[in-house]
């Protein structure tokens, strides 16, 4: 069996990366293998998670690199070096250009902490998404895993899971609940689905 090489792109805490590591370890990601982690920030705790799991990692600091072109060229060469066939954006806070996403059609997956099309697109990331959901007063939110194309948060939806908003929620409390009850569950499931698809395509030539 020729497993699909998965490269995970992160920027922060890396709890979604951890969910993928745990899924692979416990046999819930049989079609894939995490072959590398790339962080856009040198301070990301997710780098420590990769190290603890024995996964090779690298940092591509957007600001240090300078231009978007140079940033993406570095990402591409690292993804190739790692043997990445499937790219997972797990709390990756940089937007990728249409040139980049066109190189990997239906091969880049993102997890977003709301039920798309609510609270998504440019400017909606991390805690801001939950702040906006609470400000609007929605009673149900959730998470979405989708393919990445040239439209921010606009690619085909793979999986969604709803989560209830509760009385007294702060953005931080809601973020934790959405992660625990939705993101950490549906991200590994979606990654397994797509990794399996890629593996079958490889087997059938």
Give residue for tokens 């996964």.
55
Judged by phi (left if over 0) then psi (alpha if -120 to 50, else beta), residue 110 lies in beta
Which residues are paired to 89 by β-bridges?
9, 110
Q: Do 11 and 53 meet the contact criterion of CB atoms below 8 Å apart? A: no
Token duo for residue 166 = 């509760």
Interface contacts to ligand GAR, rule CB under 6 A: 10, 12-16, 46, 90-91, 111-113, 125-126, 129, 179, 183
Question: Which residue, 37 or 111, is less far from ligand GAR as judged by CB?
Answer: 111
Q: How far apart are CA 180 and CA 199, in angstroms?
A: 29
Cβ partners under 8 Å of residue 137, min gap 6: none
> In angstroms, what is the minimal distance from the CB of 4 to ligand GAR?
21
> In angstroms, what is the minimal distance from the CB of 50 to ligand GAR?
12
Catalytic option among 112, 130, 146, 177:
112
Token duo for residue 126 = 């991390």
Token duo for residue 152 = 């921010």
Rounded to 5 degrees, φ, ψ at 111 are -110, 130
> In angstroms, what is the minimal distance from the CB of 200 to ligand GAR?
28
> Is residue 112 among the annotated active site residues?
yes
Question: Which residue, 84 or 113, is less far from ligand GAR as judged by CB?
Answer: 113
Question: Which residue, 14 or 32, is less far from ligand GAR as judged by CB?
Answer: 14
Question: Which residue, 17 or 195, is less far from ligand GAR as judged by CB?
Answer: 17
> In angstroms, what is the minimal distance from the CB of 49 to ligand GAR?
9
Give residue for tokens 């990756």.
92
Residue nearest to ligand GAR according to CB distances in the complex: 91
Residues annotated as part of the active site:
112
């Amino acid at each position: 069996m020729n497993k699909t090489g998965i490269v995970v792109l992160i920027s922060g805490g890396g709890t979604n990366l951890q969910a993928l590591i745990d899924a692979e370890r416990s046999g819930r990601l049989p079609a894939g293998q995490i072959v590398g982690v790339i962080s856009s920030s040198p301070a990301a705790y997710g780098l420590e998670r990769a190290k603890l799991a024995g996964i090779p990692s690298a940092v591509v600091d957007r600001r240090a690199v300078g231009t978007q072109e140079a940033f993406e060229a570095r990402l591409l060469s690292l993804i190739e070096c790692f043997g990445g066939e499937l790219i997972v954006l797990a709390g990756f806070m940089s937007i990728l250009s249409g040139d980049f996403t066109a190189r990997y059609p239906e091969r880049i997956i993102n997890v977003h902490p709301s039920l798309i099309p609510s609270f998504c697109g440019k400017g909606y990331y991390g805690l801001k998404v939950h702040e906006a959901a609470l400000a609007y007063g929605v009673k149900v939110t959730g998470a979405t895993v989708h393919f990445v194309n040239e439209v921010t948060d606009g690619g085909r939806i793979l999986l969604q899971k709803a989560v209830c908003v509760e009385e007294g929620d702060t953005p931080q409390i809601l973020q934790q609940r959405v992660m625990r009850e939705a993101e950490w569950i549906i991200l590994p499931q979606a990654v397994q689905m797509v990794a399996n698809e890629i593996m079958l395509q490889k087997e059938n030539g």
